Amino acid sequence: MNGGKQGARSNPGGFNPLERILTTTLDFERIARSSIKLFVTATNVHTGRGRVFRNADITADVLLASACLPTMFQAVEIDGAFYWDGGYSGNPTITPLVRECMSQDTIIVQVNPVERPAAPRSAREILNRLNEISFNAVLLKELRMMALLRQVAPTDNSECARWAAMRMHRIASDVVADLGSSSKLNAEWAFLTMLRDEGRRCAEAFLNDHGADLGKRPSFDLDQLLEGV
């Protein structure tokens, strides 16, 4: 799930240091040739629909568009259309994982809290919580659909059956849930390395607790998402 990503073209036609960083650190030709499928979503500003970019389509502009928060950056133009953060339309988009991949296990790495214990008070806190809710809504809707399909889907090879058969898993951290909205703008190295180390700790804990579930059974209970619906 989205964690307040930053980066987009803020000065169209001018020098963009973020784009320079991407083009000098990533080998897009190698990504295009990779056997590992990569799906990146951006939201079309005009239609409100998500566009999924695949390996051969991924460029620096695509990555910038996928992380373009409209309150901070100008929309990124790709093929004559303008795009914002993909979190508004799919965060992440599950559909290509079901339709185009063989694996029946999906691991969601959650960096955007679904729940917060306290009510937001300040304008910044309210805006941050609104963003979290809107970014999580699309994914939660897809997960609820999967839970419902499990109750009625056939056991053939139809798309409904493939959705229902997907085994869902989740890696999450309580540390992220405790961070305030201002943390999304914190670029201090000590903070970034703390997030890295926390991510590795959570991944190791997940493998210790649920590594044996992979390929056999889901470890994330989707039925809980149907409560109150």
pLDDT tens for each residue of the chain, 229 residues long = 343 333 444 444 455 788 899 999 999 999 999 999 999 999 999 999 999 999 999 999 999 999 998 888 999 999 999 999 998 898 888 999 999 999 999 999 988 888 888 888 888 888 888 888 888 888 899 999 999 988 887 777 788 889 999 999 999 998 887 887 678 788 899 999 999 999 999 999 999 999 999 999 999 999 998 887 6
Please give the Cα distance from 190 to 202 (Å, whole number). 18
